[in-house]
Amino acid sequence: MNVKSITKAVSEDEDLMVQSLMAMLRIKAVGPESGGDGEHERGKYVAKLVKDLGFKSVEVLNSPDKRVPSGKRPNIIARLEGTTKRKMWVVSHMDTVPEGDLSAWKYPPYEPKLVEGRIYGRGAEDNGQQLVASLFGLRALLKLGIKPECTIGLVFVADEEHGFTHGIDFLIKKKMFKKGDLAVVPDHGLPDGSGIEVVEKGIAWINVEVVGKQTHASTPDKGVNAFEAAARFVLAATEVLRGKYSGVDPLFDPPISTFEPTKCELNTLNVNTIPGRQVFAFDFRVLPKYPLGEVMATLREVADKVETSTKAKISMSFIQRSDAPPSTPVDSEIVQQLSAAVELVRGIRPRPMGIGGGTCAAPFRRHGIEAAVWSTIPGTAHDANEYARVKDLVGDAQVYAVLFAGKNLQGL
């Protein structure tokens, strides 16, 4: 069996792939945190599709959730047994974010349209394309009678957009994934598929409350200006943190830690009042070499100094904290196998890279499972007019098919 034969087997299914993705996108799958009913109906469609495509091993694992009408959040698992007990997983998700401002959409978000090679619809890129691509990549092996070396497991999870509680974390607690497994998580990508994410920055979103004493603006000596104290804190904190944690890692873009003041709440309605309370937020994306605990201790030291100089009180709390998970080594088995598959199909050798955002690879890496993050996407996730390109849908399916076939292919 050669690469041309297996990519041809995928291409023959192009129309069915497009039809399947569009049919799935017609079924809304928004989580309860955003007022949706969850993935139950979409899960039923996906499970039926898997069976209709000829897979004999289809499993549904439901995570109980009283917030949705069905009372459960489905996770669908399709398997193709290999010649060894070694397992390789591709984990994509069924849920989507809400549609947002309907007036911003060219086409109704749940009535997908195929226009000039693009499939428009909510969830087309995030993460429907990869769900369908991985499924049809594995179907190519079924059609050709290829038995992979690893047992291949395709996992279509719930609850990615609001955390992993009813999806990945639920399955990890059930011990579905084990150390020594290999995993591809298509939770990030580049427009040409030329990057494989292997490492993430630590993330800290911090709410800051500065309390002073309100007074009339004509008598500032009678109060403590919380706005001024907050401004002094922002300037001091960013200067100290950027100076102390100034390391560079070329895997990332940008290659440095970032410490940014972001959201700022209203402090007073009129001009002639000195505010007694100011609330704002920081967004930190920190290179893995710097522990978040150390960064936060430094931030607290700066806050203490500003408190002393201004007489204001500064309190901080996490809106979100995610310490950087262990990285996947660039020479790891899954990175090398995926790189080889991309190169065979696309003619490019993808580079290892890091990102500042968090991905679904983090829980795997924390459990000692090598995970590579890869896909080919235009970057429209969560946007109005989100779309997936048909060429990426087919091309990524071909990469998956070659990856799954492994040593069955000549030249590997």
CATH number for the domain spanning 236: value is 3.30.70.360
Work out the pLDDT band at 410, boundaries 50, 70, 90: low
Q: Tell whether 190 and 334 lie within a shared domain.
A: yes
Active site residues: 95, 160
Taking only the tens place, the pLDDT of each residue in 157-214 is 999 998 899 999 999 999 999 999 999 999 899 999 999 999 999 999 999 999 999 9
Residue 181: C-alpha distances to residues 152, 164, 173 (Å): 10, 19, 15
Contact in structure between 263 and 282 (CB atoms under 8 Å): no
**Full domain range(s) for residue 45:** 3-200+325-408
Contacts of 408 (CB under 8 A, 6+ apart): 1, 146, 147, 148, 149
How much is the average pLDDT of 331-345? 96
Instruction: Return the pLDDT at 411.
Output: 47
Q: Tell whether 74 and 219 lie within a shared domain.
A: no
Q: Over the chain, what is the mean pLDDT?
A: 96
Lookup: tokens for 116: 């000039």
Is the model's pLDDT at 91 over the cut of 90? yes
> Which of 322, 356, 383 delimits the end of a domain?
322
Q: Tell whether 154 and 43 lie within a shared domain.
A: yes
What is the DSSP pairing of strand 87-93 with strand 182-184? parallel
Q: Tell whether 222 and 258 lie within a shared domain.
A: yes
Beta bridge partners of 315: 209
Is the model's pLDDT at 412 over the cut of 60? no
DSSP single-letter state for residue 11: H
Instruction: Return the pLDDT at 325.
Output: 94
How much is the average pLDDT of 279-304? 98
How much is the average pLDDT of 65-75? 98
Contact in structure between 372 and 329 (CB atoms under 8 Å): no
Q: Contacts by 167-173 with C-beta closer than 8 Å and gap 24+?
A: 167/63, 167/73, 167/75, 167/93, 167/95, 168/91, 168/360, 168/363, 168/364, 169/363, 170/61, 170/63, 170/73, 170/75, 171/61, 171/75, 172/363, 172/367
Q: Tell whether 7 and 79 lie within a shared domain.
A: yes
Count of the separate structural domains present in the chain: 2
Q: Tell whether 234 and 360 lie within a shared domain.
A: no
Work out the pLDDT band at 83, boundaries 50, 70, 90: very high
Lookup: tokens for 273: 């009042």
> Which of 303, 322, 341 delimits the end of a domain?
322
Helical segments of 80-179, H only = 129-144, 168-173
Taking only the tens place, the pLDDT of each residue in 368-378 is 999 999 999 99
Taking only the tens place, the pLDDT of each residue in 108-128 is 999 999 999 999 999 999 999
Q: Tell whether 212 and 310 lie within a shared domain.
A: yes
